[in-house]
Chain A
Amino acid sequence: MSIKIKALSKSPWVFHVSAASCNNCDIEILDCFTPRFDVERFGVQLIGSVRHADALVVTGVINKKTIPLVKKVYEQASKPCLVIAVGTCSCSQHMFRFGYNVIEPLDKILPVSVYIPGCPPKPEAIILGIVKALGTLKKK
C-alpha cells in the first residue's frame, strides 16, 4: 500500500459537488454531519476547497451547464481522489434520462468508485458507501 493511499484511507475529507440535484441528497449528506449520525467522529470532514479533497461526493444528474464545471472540479482535486455517486440521479440519471438538458451519466465523465442508489439514500446508506469505498482502497 502506497503512503498516499494509506493516508487517504484514514480520514477522508469530502468535497460536495451538486450537479443538478433536487437538494434531497445534499441535505442527507449534510445530515451525516449533524448530531445523530456525526461522521466527524471518524475523521470524515466536509471541506470548502476542492484542492484539499480526498473524495468527491457527486449528487444529481449532469446537465449541459454543469458538465464542464464537474470536470473542472475533478481536475482541480489532488489525486488519488475517490468519486462517490450519491443518489439514483448520479448513478443512473433516474427519471430525467430523457430530458433535453441531460446528456450523460456521471460514470461516462468521471471514474466513479462507489454508487449509492436511493432517492434519496438514507444517511446510513451514505456512510456505508463511504466505508465500502475506503475498504476497496485498503485492498489495493
Chain B
Amino acid sequence: MSHKVIIPIGPYHPLQEEPEFFRLYVEGEKVVDIDIVIGYNHRGIEELAEDKHYDQVTFLVERICGICSSSHPFAFVLAVEDLLKTQVPERAHYIRMIVDELQRLHSHLLWLGLAGHFIGYNTVWMWAWRYREPVLDLFEQISGNRNNYAMMKVGGVRRDIKPEDLPTIKKQIDKLIPVLDMFKGAITDDPVIKARLKGVGVLTREQVLDFGALGPTARASGVDIDVRRDEPYAMYSSIKWSVITQKDGDVFAKTMVRILEMYESINIIRQCLVKMKKGPIDANVTDLIPGEGIGRVEAPRGECFHYIKSDGTNRPVRHKIRAPSFMNVATNKVSCVGGTISDAAITLGAVDPCYCCTERTAVIAKTTNTKIMNGWDLIKLCQEKTHKLLHKLEK
C-alpha cells in the first residue's frame, strides 16, 4: 500500500517571487497529483478600468504585469483602434514593435536566468541577468524608465525614438548575438543540463490543444501558433521572420524555443530600425463611438487578448482581459504528474508563469455546512464519544 504525502508549496516561498499555492500529492518520489491555487494577486483591474478614461487605462493595464508591461497596453490600444478604425502612422507602428520586441528579449533572458537558478546553475542566472541590463538601459534611454515604459497611446505612441538613439540600439542588440550564441552552446553541449531538462515535464501536442496553451509552451510541443504571423498587427506583415517550433514538448524544447526566439526578435528590431521613416507618431484621436473592439498581441508568454465595449463616453463600459499564463499554468496539471519532486520546480517554472496577469477571483456561495477539522477538533470528537459511552453505561 503506497503512502500519499501532500507537499504544500507557497504562498510565500523562495521558488517564485509571486504568491501562489501548489499542493503536490506525492507517493515516494513520484508526483501523483497537483492542485493549483491562485488568486493572491487579484486587484480587480477590469473593474478599475471601467472607472477610468481611455488614456488612463493604458497606464492601468501596464501595471497588470511587470514583465509584459508593453504587451498589455499594446493589446488595449489595438482594441480601441479596432473600435474606432483609426489609421495609425507607420512610424508609430515601428516604434511599438521595437519596444515590444525589446521587451521579449528582456523577458526571455529573465526566464533563462530563473530556469538556470531552478536547476542549480546560479551562474546561468547571473550571466543572463547581467546581459539583460543593457536591454533595460535601452528602455531607460528610449522611455525614461527601466520597466513600465508608458510608450503606448490610443492612436500612436507617446514619445518618439530620437535619431541619436538609433546607433546605440543597434550596437546593443548586435552585442547580444554572441551572448545568445554562448547560451545556446552552453545549453546544447552541457550533458548535465540535457539530463535535467530532456524528457522532463513533457506536454504532448494533444494536451496543449486540450488546455489551450499558448506561446512558447505551445510552440515547444509542435503547435505552430503565433499571432504576429496568423493575424498580423502593426507592421509584422512587412517583415521577414519565422515562427520557432520544436517537437519534443519537454523543458529542453521550451528553453530552445525561447533562445531561438530571441534571435528572431533581434532580427525584427534590425529590420524595423531600417524601415522606420520620419513622420508623425500620433493620429490625434479626439472622438469615440459606441461599439466593440478587440486587440490581440503576442506577448512573450503567448497571446494576450483585450476586449473593449464602448457606449460613446470616455470610459469603457466593459473591458475584458485574457492573459496567456492562465492556460499555461493549468498545463502543470499534466506536465508535473508522473515526474519526481526534484523535477517539479523546473516543470512549474518552465511555462514562464506570470500569476499577476492571470488572477481571477470567484466567490463561492456556501451551500453545505462543511467544517475543516484540526487536531484539537478530532481529539474533542474522540473524547465526546467516550463521554457518551460512559453515560450509556451509567444508565
Residues of A at the B interface (CB closer than 8 Å) are 16-31, 34-36, 46-48, 50, 60-61, 63, 65-66, 69, 73, 94-96, 98-102, 119-120, 122
Contacts and interface: CB of A to CB of B under 8 A. Distances in A.
B40 interface: yes
Nearest to A95: B60
B147 A101 contact: no
A18 B69 CA distance: 18
Nearest to A100: B44
B130 A30 contact: no
Contact of A28 (B63, B126, B147, B356): B147
B158 to A, nearest CB: 16
A36 B133 contact: yes
A94 B69 CA distance: 16
B42 A65 contact: yes
B59 A23 contact: no
29 contacts: A17-B12, A18-B17, A23-B18, A23-B66, A24-B148, A25-B66, A26-B18, A27-B67, A30-B17, A31-B129, A34-B113, A34-B126, A35-B126, A35-B129, A36-B130, A46-B14, A48-B13, A63-B40, A69-B11, A69-B19, A94-B63, A96-B63, A98-B48, A98-B51, A100-B44, A101-B42, A102-B43, A120-B66, A120-B148
A97 B65 CA distance: 17
Of A22, A27, A66, chain B has the most CB atoms within 10 Å of the CB of A22
B59 A95 contact: yes
A47 B18 CA distance: 15
Given A18-B19, A24-B148, A69-B12, 12 more contacts: A18-B17, A22-B64, A22-B356, A23-B66, A24-B147, A46-B14, A60-B41, A65-B39, A95-B60, A100-B47, A119-B148, A120-B66
B40 A20 contact: yes
A12 B264 CA distance: 42
B237 interface: no
B301 to A, nearest CB: 12
B110 interface: yes
A33 to B, nearest CB: 9
Given A23-B17, A26-B17, A34-B126, A99 B12 contact: no
B361 interface: yes
Interface string B38-56: 0111111101100100000
Contacts of B214: none
B66 A63 contact: no
B326 interface: no
A18 B67 contact: no
B94 interface: no
Contacts of B39: 65
